[in-house]
Amino acid sequence: MNKINYILIAIAIILIFVIYRKTRKKTSDKWQILRPQILRNDTAGGGSFGASRGNRQHKGIDILVEEGQNFFAPFDGFLTRTYNVYKSGLNYKGIEIENESGLKVKIMYVNPDFSLIGKNVKKGAKLGTAANIKNRYTNSPTMQNHLHVEKWENGTPTDPYNNLF
């Protein structure tokens, strides 16, 4: 093999490395809402996006959590609001965070830090603690406590799995 072939091989290896680094998802780009993050799957229903919920489909994913566990901002954004998840259960709150490009994430079954509403938050900032959703579903004793996470793009719910795992 001559010197030119070695140079071409070296250039090809460098190009492959550069392309790989630009296209792979960095761990730091992942949303760390909880530590650790484990997808809920129990006999009360699957926690994946699009799972059956009777006559409708699940619009988010469910991440296992212990009551009182801290949860964190998935990205830099603006904490737009808190809301009641259920009309009949005022103990179950949700929060909504939006970034500059309009990506919106809703995190439900939380005890939010109300002092952060209407403020900018940094990725990884503590937003509150997890509530106990099992108390709401006493008819489903196998349901695991979890946070429900929805990702909305252009007014449409999309699967947040790849952002989280």
Q: Which CATH superfamily is domain 31-164 in?
A: Glucose Permease (Domain IIA) (2.70.70.10)
The answer to whether 116 and 71 are in contact (CB under 8 A) is no
pLDDT of amino acid 121: 96
Please state, in angstroms and rounded to a whole number, the distance separating the CA atoms of residues 31 and 17: 25
Residues 6+ apart with CB under 8 A from 87: none
pLDDT of amino acid 129: 95
What percentage of the chain carries pLDDT values higher than 90? 42
Average pLDDT over residues 67-93: 91
pLDDT digits (tens, 9 = 90+) for 31-65: 777 766 787 777 777 788 878 777 888 888 989 89
Alpha helices in the chain (DSSP H): 3-23, 161-164
pLDDT of amino acid 16: 64
Q: Which of 32-41, 70-79, 122-131, 134-143 has the lowest mean pLDDT?
A: 32-41
Q: Token pair 């005890």 is at which residue?
A: 111
Going from the C-alpha of 131 to that of each of 8, 33, 52, 109, the distances in angstroms are 59, 14, 24, 5
Tokens of 110: 């939380």
Q: Return the beta strands (E) in the chain as ranges.
A: 41-42, 45-46, 52-53, 56-57, 61-64, 70-72, 77-86, 89-98, 104-112, 120-121, 126-130, 146-153, 156-158
pLDDT band at residue 113, thresholds of 50, 70 and 90?
Answer: very high
pLDDT of amino acid 133: 87
Task: Report CA torsion sign: 40, 46, 49, 53.
Answer: negative
What percentage of the chain carries pLDDT values higher than 70? 82
Q: Which of 18-27, 29-38, 58-67, 107-116 has the lowest mean pLDDT?
A: 18-27
pLDDT band at residue 74, thresholds of 50, 70 and 90?
Answer: very high
